[in-house]
């Protein structure tokens, strides 16, 4: 480990030997596939930090820094200037593996915020959270979870455009408002049926570049149920949802990607800061 770490330090100029005496009151706060995360007080910075400890096995030690650590370091280094993304502060090594020191965001647990009390966020909180999501979407390469997948992706279009992200963001905004998924399908076809049952089955020949949708065939168009649009969801809040939020949900979840609301249009509706 020492010889490998020395080589990496010479190549990158970033990795230093970990000094555990620098940190106090270390408490485990999370665990993932590649390591454990601790909260600790950094005596040099005089503030709380997060330490992600990545343990390496013998194979990793012989072959070099694992690709998943390199990827994480690369992404976090490249996004360090964004105000809404956790900053990577330092990288250390010890005899067991590597330690990534990051800023500690004690109020950044959206799930906890979402589920506390009655689970309903105020519309001001929703607007602010969603504005931050819109401003950070260019930092992502894809959103592919089934419930948030755009209809063109569900129907086999492999071309990934910003419109795919916009669909996912509209679904997220609906969930922030109502605390329920918009189209919680069990598989691709169930999800697309839920979408069409709500919005109506589209006229496929009117959608631009429909030839790229590999799952759309003549049989599909003939046999697929012709749903009429219901266009409404029960308001599961006691308070009235602001029109600007409803407009964004509707615009960003338009089936035709060419007619879908963009992130910039949504930011203009919210009032970009």
How many whole angstroms separate alpha carbon 154 and alpha carbon 174?
A: 19
What does the block give as tokens for 80? 């360090």
How many whole angstroms separate alpha carbon 230 and alpha carbon 167?
A: 19
How many whole angstroms separate alpha carbon 3 and alpha carbon 132?
A: 43
Does the annotation flag 52 for ligand binding? yes
How many whole angstroms separate alpha carbon 179 and alpha carbon 174?
A: 8
C-alpha pair distances (Å), 161 with each of 19, 134, 168, 208, 268: 45, 15, 12, 14, 20
Q: Cβ(216)–Cβ(205) under 8 Å?
A: no
Q: Which residues are annotated as a binding site for ATP?
A: 52
Binding positions are 52
């Amino acid at each position: 480990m020492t010889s490998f770490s020395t080589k990496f330090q010479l190549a990158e100029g970033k990795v230093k030997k970990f000094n555990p005496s620098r940190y106090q009151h270390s408490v485990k706060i999370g665990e993932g596939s590649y390591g454990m995360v601790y909260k600790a007080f950094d005596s040099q910075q005089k503030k709380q930090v997060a330490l992600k400890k990545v343990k390496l096995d013998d194979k990793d030690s012989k072959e070099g820094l694992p690709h998943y650590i390199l990827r994480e370091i690369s992404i976090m280094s490249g996004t360090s200037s964004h105000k809404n993304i956790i900053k990577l502060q330092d990288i250390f090594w010890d005899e067991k593996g590597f330690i990534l020191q990051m800023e500690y965001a004690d109020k950044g647990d959206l799930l906890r915020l979402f589920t506390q009390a009655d689970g309903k966020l105020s519309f001001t909180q929703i607007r602010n959270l969603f504005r931050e999501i819109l401003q950070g979407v260019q930092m992502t390469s894809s959103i592919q979870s089934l419930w948030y997948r755009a209809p063109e992706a569900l129907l086999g279009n492999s071309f990934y455009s910003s419109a795919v992200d916009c669909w996912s963001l509209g679904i997220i905004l609906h969930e922030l408002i109502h605390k329920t998924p918009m189209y919680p399908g069990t598989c691709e076809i169930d999800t697309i049926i839920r979408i069409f049952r709500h919005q109506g089955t589209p006229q496929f020949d009117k959608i631009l570049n429909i030839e790229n949708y590999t799952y759309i065939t003549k049989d599909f168009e003939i046999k697929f149920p012709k749903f009429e649009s219901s266009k409404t969801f029960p308001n599961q809040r006691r308070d009235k949802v602001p029109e600007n939020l409803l407009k964004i949900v509707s615009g960003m979840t338009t089936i035709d990607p060419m007619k879908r609301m963009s992130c910039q249009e949504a930011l203009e509706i919210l009032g970009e800061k």
